[in-house]
A = this chain, B = another copy of it.
Amino acid sequence: MLDIRIETTTTPKELPKADNPLKFGTIFTDHMFVMNYETGKGWHDARIVPYQPISLEPSAMVFHYGQEMFEGLKAYKAEDGRVLLFRPDKNIERANKTNRRICIPEIPDEDFLQALKAIVKMDEAWIPTKQGTSLYIRPFIIATDPFLGVRPADTYLFIIILSPVGAYYPEGLNPVKIWIEDEYVRAVKGGIGEAKTGGNYVASLKSQVKAHEEGYSQVLWLDGVERKYIEEVGAMNIFFKINGTIVTPKLNGSILPGVTRDSVINLCKTWGLPVEERRVSIDEIYEAHKSGTLEEVFGTGTAAVISPVGQLRWEDHIMKVKDGGIGEYSQKFYDTITGIQLGRLEDKFNWTVEVK
């Protein structure tokens, strides 16, 4: 149990107006959670303080060797006024898995959850209520030793910031166009692909820029070894509906284990919808599209929840899916997951955690 010291801001900011479109990740609340780590002392000095800049030595290891991790989850204001987190246990589990992979000291699960609840409670007034909005929660850890040698750091900052957000894609639940990358690689087995750390994201930028220039909003990655198996989208996991079966790439060490991905798989099983986690080659998708059995494609992620995919481009092949529209199951998964998140639908899985 953390002993969280609280310092309330003396200069509260104005809350965003209800008609503010809330561009993703640009507005931050009045407070942040901070906790320090030092070898020998462990995690200590848990506190909620006014949202403020971080001051670090120029030699701080995070600026040089990328020892940084993050998570992303959301808090919702239910219609009955309750504040709900969606599956925070999964984010905490993944956070500590990332920590182990990149040699950051773990945070006890119960302390992590306590911190999440405390900061959300503190800035509860910032949770937006308009359709499609939520309070995005960004926990992250950075290595702060002022030292230029390469080794795991001895000092860290764990910080949680909050951002009221609208839809991740300005177009809302509108189909996105996806570029299948065949030159660059995001991650490979044995690397850091299944960890939520900056190195995976920086590796994706160049492809993303290329895709944007061609009018595509996201990149779909192929595996780095055989360059033929589908991995993930970087900001999302990917699902296909092929001939009545929901198919998604199996977690293989280079794919991020998404929380929304896991939720969709669970829903399929409950609904009696056939679902397969397995290797999926780009050739299989190409052939399924050609034969007319590629019925739906959608991405899953915390930011956008479900993103229907209306078009895939692989080399010179342009594959339209659902005539560029929204698939029946994309809509159903979106409605069900957001329904549970907002407390509108019964939460049979106990996925939501109330912040009291």
Q: What is the copy number of this chain in the assembly?
A: 2
A140 and B63 within 8 A (CB):
yes
Tell me the minimal C-beta distance from A130 to chain B in angstroms. Answer: 19
Q: Which residues of B contact A68 (CB under 8 A)?
A: 63-64, 66, 198, 202
Does A351 make an interface contact (CB < 8 A)? no
Q: Which residues of B contact A101 (CB under 8 A)?
A: 206
Q: Which residues of B contact A224 (CB under 8 A)?
A: 188-191, 224-225
Q: Which residues of B contact A67 (CB under 8 A)?
A: 198, 201-202, 205
A142 to B63, CA, bound (A): 7
Q: Which residues of B contact A148 (CB under 8 A)?
A: 24-26, 136, 138, 163
A56 to B186, CA, bound (A): 27
Q: Which residues of B contact A142 (CB under 8 A)?
A: 63
Tell me the minimal C-beta distance from A223 to chain B in angstroms. Answer: 10
A53 and B55 within 8 A (CB):
yes
Does A16 make an interface contact (CB < 8 A)? no
B191 and A103 within 8 A (CB):
no
Interface residue stretch chosen among A149-157, A286-294, A315-323 = A149-157
- Provide the A22-61 mask, 1 if CB < 8 A to any CB of B, else 0: 0011101000100000000000000000011111111110
Extra pairs beyond A63-B142, A101-B206, A199-B203 (16, CB < 8 Å): A28-B58, A62-B63, A63-B68, A64-B70, A64-B138, A64-B201, A66-B199, A102-B202, A102-B205, A148-B163, A150-B201, A150-B235, A188-B191, A191-B203, A192-B199, A225-B225
> 6 tightest A-B contacts by CB?
A66-B198, A199-B199, A25-B148, A185-B190, A65-B201, A66-B202
A-B contact pairs, 15 of them (CB 8 A): A24-B148, A28-B58, A54-B55, A54-B58, A63-B70, A64-B68, A64-B198, A64-B201, A65-B198, A183-B190, A184-B191, A190-B224, A197-B202, A198-B202, A224-B224
